[in-house]
């Protein structure tokens, strides 16, 4: 478990930090793709046109804000949306950003 990066608890979630994570369109796309997926997604499994190092940075920002949980399966780093915890901290926020209407704009 030594490779599992640190994650904030729900009580540590900060609206400002969450909004700064979600204002970036690439990071918001990661969240909407995770929300639409039926399962957790490995870092290489997202549709995004950025370099690997840029992607790693985006995942880190999302993880530190509490939006995603990262863990390893073998050599793959997996990503899970912390939907329930985010809904507990900021009810309706992810709903508003992942609806068809919102993502279509």
Place of tokens 């901290």: 89
Of 72 and 95, CB closest to its own copies: 95
**Nearest Cα to 22, choosing from 104, 100, 93, 99?**
93
The DSSP result for 19-43, as a single string, is HHHHTSHHHHHHHHHHHHSSS-EEG
- Binding segment for its own copies (CB under 8 A), chosen from 15-23, 29-37, 45-53, 63-71, is 15-23
| Interacting residues with its own copies between 34 and 93 (CB under 8 A) | 89-93
What is the C-alpha to C-alpha distance for residues 59 and 101, in angstroms, rounded to an integer? 25
- Is 95 one of the binding residues for its own copies (CB under 8 A)? yes
Which range of residues in 8-16, 36-44, 46-54, 72-80 is near its own copies by CB under 8 A? 8-16
Token look-up 């993502």 returns 103
Where on the chain is the footprint of its own copies (CB under 8 A)? Answer: 13-16, 19-20, 22-23, 25, 28, 89-93, 95-97, 99, 101-102, 105
């Amino acid at each position: 478990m030594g490779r599992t990066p640190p994650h904030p608890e729900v009580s540590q979630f900060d609206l400002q930090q969450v909004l700064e994570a979600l204002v970036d369109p690439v990071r918001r796309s990661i969240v909407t793709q995770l929300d639409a997926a039926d399962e957790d997604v490995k870092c290489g499994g997202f549709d995004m046109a950025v370099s690997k190092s840029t992607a790693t940075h985006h995942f880190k920002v999302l993880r530190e804000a509490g939006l995603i949980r990262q863990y390893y399966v073998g050599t793959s780093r997996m990503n899970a949306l912390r939907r329930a915890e985010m809904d507990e901290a900021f009810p309706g926020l992810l709903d508003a950003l992942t609806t068809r209407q919102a993502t279509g704009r």
